[in-house]
Copies of this chain bind each other. A is one copy, B any other.
Amino acid sequence: MIHAVILVGGSGTRFWPLSREKMPKQLLRILGDRSMLAITVDRALAMVPENRIWAVTTVSQAGLIKRELDSQGFERVRVIEEPVGRNTAPAIGLAAMRILREDADGILAVMPADHHIQQPGSFVDILRSGEMLADKGYLVTLGIKPMRAETGYGYLCKGSRLDAPDMGDSSLAAYRVARFTEKPDEKTAEAYLHSGEYFWNSGIFMWRADRFVEAMKRYLPGHYEGLMEIDGLGVPPADPGRMQEIYAGFQPISVDYGIMEHAGRVAMIPADVGWSDVGSWASLREILDKDADGNVLVGDVLALECRDSIVYGRDRLVAVLGLEGLVVVDTPDALLICREDQSQHVRRIVERLREKGRAEAVTH
């Protein structure tokens, strides 16, 4: 059976001042009336019942995440708590072992809680195809056709097309992954964009839980041993201190780098689902409805002669005149104004605030 594993990590630095240390971006209602986490649970519910949805997060954020799930009526979504964040490979390993305890044939559909998917219907179709491949032992990753020469993502290079038998009666194509590549430079990204052979690595995966644990044993044996010992502590762990000790001792490593780049039988399904990484204020302008001048205006905003700008107002009037390519985010205790093409540097502001011990970096 499929289980949705939603990764709810990250410190929410890039969406400051809406996101704070104690308000991760997955809880923000920046894509509409509901949080990104709630929207992700909705997508998963189209495929699996609520009690087969698992949210993996850290102990420090678990309280917030549970409150949000409860408030949205998702009381049966289960929360797996990492003692500390150690990147995606340990987090998914922890979830895989937990799920294997009650479903030896479990197939995981792993997805971050902070992506936007414009066509959730197509997304479910693709996961159904992925299920068939995962069932045959493939480690499946969803590839996104590049829309621009993005230098901030890893890429997948597609290999030979998989035969129909592996795909059942799906009309979707799937490919072996010839190789994974790190974030490219601009020239290389440009070449990837035009080649038709390269796809963005979406961070959405499917695999059998047992196959994943097997791959961990082979490619990350230290992590595997630790997770086996943690599994032996039971649920909830009989000795939380020991669990904390083991988990905190893990080297942080991503599932791409730790497993996918080394494993055999890795497949990619090109996923034309209107996927967007919601990575910075700039990325929101791609996703949200814009006015005729390319502006996204939220709240009590009076805009004259503005173009290609994002203005997030809240309690107060925000009047903007002559802006171009700017991001404005207003909150009761802090205001951000930055150039859209620098919005990935907002974390530098947050770092400065943390250095200064400013409360505005932590909470609202």
Contact call B336/A322, Cβ cutoff below 8 A: no
Other-chain contact of A320, B317, B323, B333, B337 (Cβ < 8 Å): B337
A352 and B317 in contact, given A330-B335, A337-B326 (Cβ under 8 angstroms): no
Contact call B345/A321, Cβ cutoff below 8 A: yes
Does A360 interact with chain B (Cβ within 8 Å)?
yes
Which residues of B have CB within 8 Å of A334?
Answer: 316-319
Which residues of B have CB within 8 Å of A326?
Answer: 326, 337
A333 and B317 in contact, given A339-B322, A339-B323 (Cβ under 8 angstroms): yes
Which residues of B have CB within 8 Å of A316?
Answer: 332-335
Does A233 interact with chain B (Cβ within 8 Å)?
no
Does A102 interact with chain B (Cβ within 8 Å)?
no
Contact call A360/B321, Cβ cutoff below 8 A: no
* A interface residue count range (under 10 / 10 to 19 / 20 to 34 / 35 or more): 35 or more
A302 and B353 in contact, given A337-B318, A338-B322, A345-B321 (Cβ under 8 angstroms): yes
Give the number of times this chain occurs in the complex, counting copies.
Answer: 2
Which residues of B have CB within 8 Å of A302?
Answer: 349, 352-353
Other-chain contact of A319, B317, B320, B335 (Cβ < 8 Å): B335
Which residues of B have CB within 8 Å of A169?
Answer: none
B-binding residues in A (CB < 8 A): 16-17, 302, 304-305, 313, 316-323, 326, 328, 330, 332-339, 341-343, 345-346, 348-349, 352-353, 358, 360
Q: List 30 A-B contacts (CB under 8 A).
A: A17-B317, A17-B319, A302-B352, A302-B353, A304-B345, A304-B349, A316-B334, A316-B335, A317-B334, A317-B335, A317-B358, A317-B360, A318-B334, A318-B337, A319-B334, A319-B337, A319-B349, A320-B336, A320-B338, A321-B336, A321-B338, A321-B342, A321-B346, A322-B338, A322-B341, A322-B342, A323-B337, A323-B339, A326-B326, A335-B335
